[in-house]
Amino acid sequence: MKIYQMMHFPLAGAGTGIYVDTLAKSLAQKGRQVKVLCSGHCPPNKPYSVEAVLFSNGENDKFDLDFDIPVFASHPLSKGEKFGELSKTQRQAYFRVFRGKIEEGLSQFRPDIVHVHHGWVIASILVEFDVPYIITLHGTEYYAFKNYKDYTQDVLRGLHGAEVIVALTQDERAQAIDAYGLDPQKIIVIKSGTDINMFKPLEVDKESLLKSYSIETVDRPVVFFGGRLTDQKGVDTLIRAASIYSKTDQKPITLIAGDGNLRSDLEQLAGELKLESVYFLGAQNHEQMVRLFNVADVAVMPSILEAFGLVALEALACGTPVIAGNVGGFARNVNNEIGYLMKPGDSDTLAQKITTFIRDGFKEKVRDKAAAYIRQNFSWDKTVENIEKLYEQVLGRNGKGSDSSS
């Protein structure tokens, strides 16, 4: 089976890119022929075939488009405008370059099926070609659809031309049916999973790890956040909570991994609150995140909006309890046996729960249970198996059954 994956953003820096990269690797390891089209500032180096539409970030010499990667709200690897802020000329150029790359890729790779990530504008280009395609919704495109009206018709044309739409949660499925007018029979749920071979409990030298970030305070509990620094993540709530729990007897330190358009504002807030034990680490790769999850006493995701929330699964897979906003995927995937669901914006309760978790040694009590919960319910292998079954079903309907070994 030859599978062409497509996305609007880079293969790193945010959840969708990580999802696509992990899926492409998994499919390639199972003997599938895989090609990926993405965005970037330089050609990615991956163990599968990949091509990027190159955007200018002011530092690279070679690019297809002389502006940075447009975003829904923000992306840690781009300083680009929001899609709604692009000029008509930029929008036309975006479509033209992606169409050229897609046409070339379809002609040369000749895929059996195309898998588009995000219900956004790439899919509207595929309508022109005789190739079956599916779309996985990743949640953030809904914000763009509501706010960037210049793209409405293209988005709807692409969505309605797909063979199947995949949602990551039942809530996202219901939202998509209502927002896009999709046939309920056409949209299914395949929940995401995490790589339990990577994200797992490990013995990590806490002192060495913290000192690698120039943190000398190594004998205190660790509160950890990992994710994009954007409005929907609610990191300001965590910082306000830190102004309370950092004064308790345990004196926890707070590590914030990630980047985004709010980083300077959040650093300023921490400064205004005179928080000397809040550390901004910047974007971290998978291996670094695994170590950080493992040294953390609690992982906090105080989001006000979250489609799925893969980061919670990653933390739990490492045996670290999670306190998360009672929204979206978090509301379905986090429970009181392994964490706590908080009211978004409630910094007082968040501080209280963090203090209680640390004081009671909650991580030691639930470490094995949390990791087992992820292994049993959110194995990435199961996600890939379900996606492959969907490919086979779509190809069967189109009279293009495939050899599972190819």
Each residue of 57-67: pLDDT tens digit? 988 889 999 99
> Is position 210 within any domain?
yes
> Is position 245 within any domain?
yes
> Is position 406 within any domain?
no
> Is position 402 within any domain?
no
pTM above 0.85?
Answer: no
Nearest Cα neighbor of 4 from 110, 100, 138 is 110
Task: Please work out, in degrees rounded to the nearest 5, the angle formed at the alpha carbon of residue 269 by the alpha carbons of 267 and 275.
Answer: 80
* 373 and 386 fall within a common domain: no
Beta strands in 75-148 (DSSP E): 113-117, 133-136
Domain range for 97 is 2-193+379-397
Identity of the amino acid at 148: Y
Identity of the amino acid at 35: K
Question: In which residue ranges of the chain is pLDDT below 70?
Answer: 400-406
* 284 and 388 fall within a common domain: no
Give the per-residue pLDDT at 379: 86
State how far the Cα of 85 lies from the Cα of 195, in Å rounded to an integer.
36
Buried b / exposed e over 321-338, threshold 16 CB at 10 Å, is bbbbbebbbbbebbeeeb
Give the per-residue pLDDT at 217: 82
pLDDT in tens, 189-212: 998 888 888 899 999 999 999 999
* 335 and 231 fall within a common domain: yes
* 384 and 253 fall within a common domain: no
Give the per-residue pLDDT at 157: 96
Residues sharing a CB contact under 8 Å with residue 149, sequence separation 6 or more, in sequence order = none
Nearest Cα neighbor of 284 from 222, 244, 229 is 229
* 335 and 223 fall within a common domain: yes
Contact 334, 324 (CB under 8 A): yes
* 346 and 360 fall within a common domain: yes
Give the per-residue pLDDT at 231: 87
**CATH code of residue 146:** 3.40.50.2000
* 165 and 244 fall within a common domain: no
Burial of residue 12 (number of CB atoms within 10 Å: 0-12, 13-18, 19+): middle
- DSSP structure string for 342-361: E-TT-HHHHHHHHHHHHHTT
Give the per-residue pLDDT at 399: 75
